[in-house]
A and B are shown apart, each in its own frame.
Chain A
Amino acid sequence: AQKVTQAQTEISVVEKEDVTLDCVYETRDTTYYLFWYKQPPSGELVFLIRRNSFDEQNEISGRYSWNFQKSTSSFNFTITASQVVDSAVYFCALSDLARGSTLGRLYFGRGTQLTVWP
């Protein structure tokens, strides 16, 4: 069964610190996709990144970077030089291909509340 675990419920850092949000997943599928979403207080889930299971290359986008390691089933997210605007709940999610359909389903972790203090 598919499962996403975000063990860190809450993290607090001071501005300019680096912070890593952990994500561990379980799946029996060989083809799957991993996502990170950001949810600010307004409620909208903002898409950050998608990574497929065949691409283990790490990715950097500005202050954001992602470390995908199939050997440990992890897809961790690092924010460098954090800012107050980074304060939000961050969700990791796994998408499989439902049997008989191309329609993917998202399995979400419980989220990590990140608070960045000025």
Chain B
Amino acid sequence: ETGVTQTPRHLVMGMTNKKSLKCEQHLGHNAMYWYKQSAKKPLELMFVYSLEERVENNSVPSRFSPECPNSSHLFLHLHTLQPEDSALYLCASSQEQLAGNTIYFGEGSWLTVV
């Protein structure tokens, strides 16, 4: 069983819908991440949370809204998305204090925007 679990695994949503992706890590880590993987681009870092504070936001459109209520949970709220937002969204976690920290990924949520 993976240490990082994501739900749902697959999601189809219309452009006017509001949905959320959920991530939970069972590794005792204190940093969590959202990555986006689309067919035509390399893996893109979207958000980083460390100790529940957002430390990095790589110019992601506001239609993506992250939330980190505690060190074990991370959400990505989705609102009025575009078809080009269809991608695999990967959640990950790491132990911040370790240099060269290994980042562990979940299985991802496959998102299709119609």
Q: Digitize A15-48: 1 where CB-to-B-CB distance is under 8 Å, 0 elsewhere.
A: 0000000000000000111010100001111110
| Total count of chain A residues near the partner, CB < 8 A | 26
Q: Is the CB of B96 within 8 A of A103?
A: yes
Q: Is the CB of A37 within 8 A of B105?
A: yes
The verdict on B69 contacting chain A, using a C-beta distance below 8 Å, is no
Q: Is the CB of A108 within 8 A of B102?
A: no
With the chains together, A35 CA to B45 CA distance in Å? Answer: 16
**How many inter-chain residue pairs (CB < 8 Å) link A and B?**
61
Q: Is the CB of B97 within 8 A of A102?
A: yes
Kindly provide the distance from the CB of A75 to the nearest chain B CB, expressed in whole angstroms: 14
Q: Which residues of B contact A50 (CB under 8 A)?
A: 100, 102
Q: Is the CB of B43 within 8 A of A108?
A: yes
Q: Digitize B4-30: 1 where CB-to-A-CB distance is under 8 Å, 0 elsewhere.
A: 000000000000000000000000000
The verdict on A101 contacting chain B, using a C-beta distance below 8 Å, is yes
Most B CB contacts (10 A, CB to CB) among A45, A47, A91, A105 go to A45
Q: Is the CB of A44 within 8 A of B42?
A: no
With the chains together, A42 CA to B56 CA distance in Å? Answer: 28
Q: Is the CB of A43 within 8 A of B107?
A: yes
Which of B2, B50, B98, B103 is within 8 Å of A106, CB to CB?
A: B103
Q: Is the CB of B106 within 8 A of A102?
A: no
With the chains together, A110 CA to B45 CA distance in Å? Answer: 14
Q: Is the CB of B103 within 8 A of A44?
A: no
Known: A44-B2, A97-B99. A108 touches B42 (CB 8 A): yes
The verdict on B101 contacting chain A, using a C-beta distance below 8 Å, is yes
By beta carbon, the residue of chain A nearest B55 is: A103
Kindly provide the distance from the CB of B22 to the nearest chain A CB, expressed in whole angstroms: 16
Q: Is the CB of B101 within 8 A of A104?
A: yes
The verdict on B88 contacting chain A, using a C-beta distance below 8 Å, is yes
Q: Which residues of A contact B48 (CB under 8 A)?
A: 103, 105
Kindly provide the distance from the CB of B23 to the nearest chain A CB, expressed in whole angstroms: 12
Known: A103-B50, A108-B43, A110-B42. A47 touches B108 (CB 8 A): no
Q: Measuring CB to CB, which residues of chain B are less than 8 angstroms from any residue of chain A? A: 2, 31, 42-43, 45, 48, 50, 55-56, 88, 90, 92, 94, 96-108, 110
